[in-house]
Structure 1
């Protein structure tokens, strides 16, 4: 791993994408852009860039993805770029027989560029994976309904009365209950937090296309999805990302990535149980493959600060006429909630990401593979 940790991190989507593409070029690899229909904050083109290292028909596939939640891409992009810049990592991946690594850079490039967690549709991509086509009833989040008006008030900052509503909910349902109500996903407030949408987003449709193309020959798929915003600052929590009922996949995840792998289902994770999760797309696009995955979640600031930053950002989206100084403050607050721009944080993330990526290679190549 290169010692110049800071060189992989960026201050904008455009800078991050340029570094990723430069690292790919230096490694002798070509990235395929899937162009987004809108432009970025600075007028730049946006894309989900797909880079494959390894045989086109490899039976084992490791996916490493960034920016599912836009602004979280400051971390994920840097880690992808660092891997591509590391000769030892590239060599280790190439040495594995019949294995390919698929880098998905900026699943949600719009949110990355515009410093938003959601997509251009205002949707949380990791709550957007439902069977919309067959009009199945979408999940109902009664807890969110109860606190929606206080969570996203008409004025900013929120009043003492607004905060009292949230405190009362936590007193009655516990802090974990409040977190679940806020973050589990909701499908009724289009401008609200953690909105899952009523149709597949551009990012969901594009991801499906990419996985259908690149995963069709794989018999084993491992997926590391890079996130920030939950847990102790600088700590990378390894959260099982798979069906609750798939005990074999959960056991594999723990065997590959350690006994500290947590689960949203049993309450061991810093994340509350969620719905409409992205990993389910593997079962639909690559049903022939055995799947093992985690979300690698790096802590930034306390949860209360993260939620306050998200509330402010959603308020700003609903109130574009807000004072420019307040708007700048809110956007910086959001960026800082998901990206700690210090050498110590960056180095800690690089160390853990390299370990997790190497563990995935070892797991995919283990003698226990069927």
Structure 2
């Protein structure tokens, strides 16, 4: 079987492949059922597979579909890891936890967000405190999320974006749109005003390990930024944090950092690393985002804006609706054999380097 066969065309197919591979690998499976249904009326769930001892002191966590539409890639990687028995030489003190489709609604409906229009990677924030302000988003809101989706509205929005980039910078424009906001419930990159279902599910899936795991590695699988097919290793830690030091030890010069400008990603608020740290408060967690490129950033952002307009104002069953759904799928998943083969090979390499990092005392020490 080639790596391309691990990838799926729908959430339902991806879930079946993952569960079948997990059972064949002898994994323990737990399912967290989402209260919503998929477009086919089928069940939505986050499936969690564990290989290794329940009492292991070291834990490698791999998660897919933080952003639902990115689950096509992440699920294929997880299924391939299981199908190729990448964990056959697992040390006795180490366990693997694969969290499949943490945002099953977004995966099934081919949306980046969840059932509440919330971006999960902006939701892990202290909701009891004042939310951070995103002045750029507030300024550009009506151009980011127009009432209509046609050539005229596109021209107005692009003119406003060009003007903002001239007055600030292209990266500031990306940050204004993508960094997150907490007041516009019908807008893009909305972080929500309370922990959402996927947020609570991640904590529930990890909390049983809080008392036993001393060291953990976390790989959050993403797509949408960077050169097509390239897997960028982005540190989930910044500055002089011990986690950032460990990531550099594990991956060397390949690591990019959000805070020094080397990453394709801008800084976001409320990311999943915060949730992992909260669920494992006594664990030394080393986290990365493995980010695969698909299309250029402007095209990716446009797909998110188009999908947002479609679900707020448009008609899913229209010709325009079908074009937009294809647009966002293509923006976060390249359905070509060579892309899948390249993506999977990189993921296997990163997986084994993460396992090595966990296993060696000199690499887990900060």
TM range (shorter): over 0.9
Q: Are the counterparts in 1 of residues 239 and 259 from structure 2 also a CA contact under 8 Å?
A: no
Asked if structure 2 preserves the Cα contact closer than 8 Å seen for 1:66 and 1:106, the reply is yes
Deviations 1:214-235 (A, max 9, x none): 3431000110000000000000
Alpha-carbon deviation of 1:238? 0.3
Mapping for residues 1-370 of structure 1, pairs under 5 Å: 4-87=2-85, 89-93=86-90, 96-132=91-127, 135-157=128-150, 158-242=153-237, 244-321=238-315, 324-368=318-362, 369=364
Q: Quote the Cα distance in structure 1 between the aligned partners of 2:317 and 2:108.
A: 21
> Given the two structures, how large is their TM-score scaled by the length of structure 1?
0.95
Q: Distance in 1 between matches of 2:274 and 2:252?
A: 23
User: Partners of 1:322 and 1:78 in 2: how far apart?
Assistant: 26
SS in 1 for 2:270: coil
> In the alignment, is the contact (CA less than 8 A) between 1:61 and 1:215 conserved in 2?
no
Where 2:300 maps in the other structure, the secondary structure is: helix
CA distance in 2, matches of 1:92, 1:300: 33
The question of whether the paired residues in 1 share the 8 Å contact of 2:209 and 2:280 is answered with no
Partner SS state of residue 293, structure 1: strand
Deviation at residue 246 of structure 1 after TM alignment: 4.5
Deviation at 1:113, TM superposition (A): 0.1
Question: Counterpart of 1:279 in 2: which secondary structure?
Answer: helix
Unaligned ranges ≥5, structure 1: none
Secondary structure of 2:340's match? helix
Q: CA deviation at 1:207?
A: 0.7
Deviation at 1:282, TM superposition (A): 2.6
Q: Is the 8 A contact 1:229 1:338 kept in 2?
A: yes
Detail structure 1 runs of 4+ shifted over 3 Å in the superposition: 320-323
Kindly indicate whether the alpha-carbon contact (under 8 Å) linking 2:45 and 2:101 is maintained by their aligned counterparts in 1. yes
Partner Cα distance (2:294, 2:195) in 1:
29
CA RMSD of aligned residues (A): 1.2
Deviations 1:250-293 (A, max 9, x none): 12101112321111111110001111111012332211111101
* CA apart distance, 1:160: 1.6
Residue 129 of structure 1 and its aligned partner are, at CA, apart by: 0.7
Name structure 2 gaps, 5 residues minimum. none
Q: Which deviates the most, 3-12 or 62-71?
A: 3-12
User: C-alpha distance in 1, partners of 2:58/2:201?
Assistant: 22
In 2, Cα distance between the equivalents of 1:48 and 1:246? 34
Distance 2:28 2:52 in 1: 12
Q: Is the 8 A contact 2:145 2:305 kept in 1?
A: yes
